[in-house]
Amino acid sequence: MVKEYNIVITGVGGQGILTAANLLGWAALHAGYKVRVGEVHGMSQRFGSVIAYVRFGEDVYGAMVPEGKADVILAFEPVEALRYINYLKEGGLVIANSNPIPPVQVSMGLATYPSMEEIKKIIEEDFKGKLITLDAEKLALEAGNVITTNVVLIGALTQTPGFPLSEEHVKEVIRLSVPKKAVDVNMKAFELGVKAAKELLGL
Amino acid sequence: MAKVTDIVLWDKPGERVLLLGNHAIARGALEANIAVFAAYPGTPSSELTDTMAAVAEKAGVYMEYSTNEKVAFETALSAAWSGLRAMTAMKHVGLNVTADTFLSAVGMGVEGGFVIMVADDPSMWSSQNEQDTRVYAKFAQVPVLEPSSPHEAKEMTKYAFELSEKFKHMVILRTTTRISHARGDVVLGELPEEIKQAKRKFGDFKKDPSRFVDVPSNARRFHPIILEKIEKIREELAECPFNWIEGKEDAKVGIIAPGLAYSYVKEALAWLGVDDVKILKLGTPFPVPYKLLEKFFDGLERVLIVEELEPVVEEQVKVWAFDNGIRIPIHGKDYVPRVYEMTTRRAVTAIAKFLGLETPVDFESIDERYKKVSAIVPPRPPSLCPACPHRNTFYAIKKAAGPNAIFPSDIGCYTLGLLPPLKTVDTTVAMGASIGVAHGLDVALNGVPGEKETKEKKKIIVATIGDSTFFHTGLPALANAIYNRSNVVIVVMDNLVTAMTGDQPNPGTGDTPHGPGKRILIEDVAKAMGADFVEVVDPYDIKATYEVMKKAIETEGVSVVVARRVCALHRVGEMRRRGEKWPIYTVNEEKCTGCKICINAYGCPAIYWDAEKKKAQVNPLICWGCGGCAQVCPFGAFEVMKEGE
């Protein structure tokens, strides 16, 4: 049992972030932990930047991860990893989906979208974290449905060194949660995420 | 992971489940044998209401989506007068809408337990202001319970009904976003037989005009009764199971932590490695039980109050201390910020300063490094959904009214019409205020018929309001504008659901949790009230919408245009569940001239700019197939993607 484990999930409203947070919360509950999941609802969800927190351990209280305390940032969109990078602890890991969704402000020329090199540099040099990126959307499509992008990323997350929940355990919660006809697609998406993370982490 | 509605009804006492705070409160209400629930949705309270709607039939509870918080309050209050356990729920600003009935009814008391759930939104994640309901509770002399976790929220709900019934006084259950929208482990309790058997409970109203008619002579009796009751409740709360003293008994320093702040304080102390303190955990920030303060202050040399938003507990404690001759330093808002939500960082920083310690994480260094990041991360505010019918409505309004027209708007997703490129929202104040503001602007800028003097060249004023908001508080404002001979255009953005809070029904949709209700058509209401121009239009047809807007603007008097098309998010959700597909648009790169009208004037989030090709592109994963882009593009560059592309 870990004392405290903190996951920050970020992305764009509509990408299945809250579902991912809820799934991880249930997996932690089934593993016997005390759990807190913090979410954003209402207007802020509509294609805006979204952050959710999943915390579990022997003693967790508040639903928000404090700055500098996230073991992992799971980003559904690359620039959203950067937006919340202040949550990452030193030596923490960022798993990011590599598909950018440029905000309307960028298309309008009111803002620019940073390059992947810039994002990587800030995460690794300024915040002393490690970044791995994977094309989760492509893997989800390969599994059979782009809607499983969040499950690809969860699969990848389970490979994080020191991740306290077992792969089987998380899979079981997903299996029980999704509609019956979608179980196979989701399991395939999970496996593809696991495989990609193993390669990227050199496991 | 079962469905929430199943979990909330599970007959499995002792089962440990993961529930959202709002779900936990719904379960608590069922465990308390609630009979009537009425509410108007508002983030962050909505999931409580939706859960009650989903389980109402199965639990024998009467549940309604009321048209606004005041009438919801009145529905539930009357049930409580009739001896039933009743509840209403709202967001903090909803209590303002309710305030008239709320403050007047306090003195009448209740028979069955009456719980008012109010969800505050510190930091304003989805709200127009930041207000602390505990101040209202103090103003009204109504006890307020404040949970520190989702499990406690469930337990407190049950206790709130008991407390209310015992003192025949209404009780507020106050949450904040981080309780309402936090999931936590919750242990299920027993469900009463009546709930398990879905037995609808009926009450009995005992006439008593001296109590239920607040003519001045009666109301004069109420005020002292209220004050007496609240002091009795203050005494009772010393034994409240959600108030306790913990930590080191003979410590010299003490921390008072009401509600959720308790969680942050516990985390902060663990993080700082401090255990030489005494903690007063307060589940009842108003009224603060003096007996507990006596016990807590015994032996203390310094006290810190860590509370979110207003110094509600601090003021009570300081007054009590002064009156009792206690002269030790009591800190609060001098260490803990008064604005925005509490966080562990804020608690750690305040406690570290109070105790003269270093914070365990160098937050300042994080902030310093983060400065660079915030400079290069592009903003991503929420936006109107792809295929939102009202992007088209705004687009047509702006084209018809011109950029110099004034656009008062209202509370709902459509407030996002504020952002570029649409920029068709000039004011947003409160529910229903767009129509009142539109009329006021007409009075101030143009003058109305019948006046001695009016302006020759009149400013065009086009107000926008959602369907649910129209019924919420738009109606009296519309009557006022028509009666006082305004010259304004009111566009009701009807998407056939209360979309922003999660697709609840309203009078315009007609359905209720108990089956079909009676549908009220907005255009019929406008006609009946005597609007000078009333027309319904489909915003997916941008040209037709534009034509109608033109006519509405040209008509003297109050014009009401109902732009009706179902919410895109709602439609896509239903299509997904049915396994249906929708057309996906793509850019014909040969036809795209790179003029950027689709981006700079229309601004659908599915359309982005390919800087290398200098062409617009459609993200097929986000396109929901409304075809608005094809209507907006002067070059016909948007085409439906063919099967297999």
pLDDT tens track for B404-441: 999 999 999 999 999 999 999 999 999 999 999 999 99
Q: Is the peptide bond before B287 cis (omega within 30 degrees of 0)?
A: yes
**Given CB atoms, is B423 within the 8 Å cutoff of chain A?**
no
Residues B55, B61 contacting (CB under 8 angstroms): yes
- Number of other residues whose CB lies within 10 A of the CB of residue B90: 29
Among candidates A81, A79, A117, which has minimal Cα distance to A7? A81
3-state percent helix, strand, coil for chain A, nearest multiple of 5: 45, 20, 30
The answer to whether the predicted template modeling score (pTM) of the entire model surpasses 0.80 is yes
How many Å apart are CA B114 and CA B89, to the nearest integer?
11
Nearest CA in chain A to B47: A41
Q: Do A66 and B266 touch (CB under 8 A)?
A: no
CA gap B335, B58 in Å, rounded: 49
Q: Where are the alpha helices (DSSP H) in B278-311?
A: 290-297
Q: Do A111 and B600 touch (CB under 8 A)?
A: no
Q: Least CA distance to A118: which residue of chain B?
A: B376
Looking at the complex, report in whole angstroms how far the Cα of residue A137 sits from the nearest Cα belonging to chain B: 10
Is residue B145 predicted with pLDDT exceeding 90? Answer: yes
Q: Does B270 touch chain A (CB under 8 A)?
A: yes
| Residues of chain B with C-beta less than 8 angstroms from the C-beta of A16 | none
What is the tens place of the pLDDT at every residue in B168-191?
999 999 999 999 999 999 999 999
pLDDT, averaged across chain A: 94
What sign has the CA pseudo-torsion B55, B60, B66, B72?
negative
Determine the residue of chain A that is closest to B376 in CA distance. Answer: A114
> Hey, which residues 73-132 in chain A have their CB within 8 Å of chain B?
79-80, 82-83, 85-86, 101-114, 118, 122, 126-127
Percentage of residues in chain B with pLDDT exceeding 90?
A: 97
Q: How confident is the model at residue B63, as a pLDDT?
A: 98
How many Å apart are CA B154 and CA B13, to the nearest integer? 13
What six digits make up the tokens of B303? 């006290």
**Strand ordering across the sheet containing B533-537:** B462-466, B489-494, B559-564, B533-537
Q: Residues with Cβ < 8 Å from B554, sequence gap 6 or more?
A: none
- Does any CB of chain A come closer than 8 Å to the CB of residue B22? no
Q: Which long-range contacts (CB under 8 A, 24 or more apart) does B367-372 make?
A: B367/A86, B369/A86, B369/A126, B369/A127, B370/A85, B370/A86, B372/A122, B372/A126
Tell whether A71 is within 8 A of chain B (Cβ).
Answer: no
The CA radius of gyration of chain B, in Å to the nearest whole number, is 27
Q: Which of B361, B363, B385 sits opposite A46 (nearest CB)?
A: B385
Of the two residues A44 and B242, the one the predictor is more confident about is: B242
pLDDT of residue A43: 63
pLDDT for position B380: 92
Q: Which residues contact B272 (CB under 8 A, 6 or more apart)?
A: B348, B351, B352, B355, B357, B359, B360
* Residue range B563-589: mean pLDDT, rounded: 94
CB contact under 8 A, B184 and A35: yes
A200 touches chain B (CB under 8 A): no
B106 burial level (CB within 10 Å; 0-12, 13-18, 19+): buried
Using the Cβ of A180 and the Cβ atoms of chain B, whether some distance falls under 8 Å is answered with: no
Q: How many Å separate Cα B67 from the centre of its chain? A: 14
pLDDT of residue B642: 74
CA distances to B132, B143, B173, B284 from B137, in Å: 9, 6, 10, 11
The confidence score (pLDDT) of residue B645 equals 47
pLDDT digits (tens, 9 = 90+) for A35-92: 999 998 766 667 899 999 999 999 899 999 999 999 999 999 999 999 999 999 999 9
Q: How confident is the model at residue B249 (pLDDT cuts 50, 70, 90)?
A: very high
Beta strands in B474-540 (DSSP E): 489-494, 511-512, 515-516, 533-537
Residue A186 has pLDDT above 50, yes or no: yes
Split at pLDDT 50, 70, 90, the class of B582 is very high
3-state SS, residue B278: strand
**A1 touching B (Cβ < 8 Å):** no
Percent of chain A past pLDDT 70, that is, above it, reads 98
B263 vs A26, A35, A61: nearest CB: A61
8 Å CB contact between A62 and B263: yes
Q: Is A45 on the interface with B (CB under 8 A)?
A: yes
C-alpha torsion angle, residues B466, B469, B470, B476 (rounded to 10): -150
CB contact under 8 A, A126 and B415: no
* Strand B515-516, strand B511-512: pairing: antiparallel
Q: What are the distances in angstroms from CA B46 to CA A112, B6, B90, B235, B584?
A: 36, 18, 8, 33, 32
The one-letter amino acid at A125: E
Alpha-helical (H) ranges within B423-484 are: 433-445, 467-469, 475-483
Say what the pLDDT of residue B1 is: 75
Q: What's the pLDDT score for residue B621? A: 87
Whole-number Å distance between alpha carbons of B307 and B258? 6
Contact B610, A100 (CB under 8 A): no
Cβ neighbours, 10 Å, residue A91: 10
Q: Per-residue pLDDT tens for B513-540?
A: 999 999 999 999 999 999 999 999 999 9
H helices of B237-343, in order, are 261-272, 290-297, 312-323
Q: How many angstroms from the chain centroid is the CA of residue B140? A: 21
Residue B546: pLDDT over 50: yes
Shortest CB distance from B376 goes to which of A38, A109, A118?
Answer: A118
Considering only CB atoms, B183 lies closest to which of A25, A47, A104, namely A25
| CA distances (Å), origin B123, targets B334, B341, B431 | 19, 5, 20
Alpha carbons B33 and B71: distance in angstroms, whole number: 22
Q: Which residue has the tokens 């440990």?
A: B16
Task: Give A37's contacts in chain B (Cβ within 8 Å).
Answer: 18, 182-184
The pLDDT of residue B283: 98
- Residue A148 exposure: Cα atoms within 13 Å on the Cβ side: 28
Strands B16-20 and B182-187: antiparallel
3-state helix, strand, coil in chain B (%, to 5): 40, 15, 40
pLDDT tens by residue, B30-43: 999 999 999 999 99
ipTM computed for the complex? 0.95
Compute the distance between CA of residue B271 and CA of residue B276 in angstroms, rounded to an integer.
13
- pLDDT(A122) > 80: yes
Beta strand B36-39 with B62-65: parallel, antiparallel or unpaired? parallel
Q: Tell me which residues of chain B, numbers 332 to 391, contact chain A at a CB-CB cutoff of 8 Å.
A: 343-345, 348, 361-363, 366-367, 369-370, 372-373, 376-386
What value does the mean pLDDT of chain B take?
A: 96
By CA distance, what is B604's nearest residue in A?
A104
Q: How far apart are CA B602 and CA B127, in angstroms?
A: 26
B550 interface with A at CB cutoff 8 Å = no
Beta pairing class for B533-537 and B559-564: parallel
Q: Which of B109, B38, B112, B108 is nearest to B80 (CA)?
A: B112
Q: Which two tokens stand for residue B185?
A: 């482990």
Please say whether the dihedral angle defined by the alpha carbons of residues B205, B210, B214 and B219, taken in this order, is positive or negative: negative
Any idea of the CA torsion for B122, B568, B551, B462, to the nearest 10 degrees? 10
Q: For residue B260, is pLDDT > 80?
A: yes
For residue B603, the chain A residues in CB contact (below 8 A) are 104, 108
Q: A64 and chain B: CB distance < 8 Å anywhere?
A: yes
Length of chain A: 203
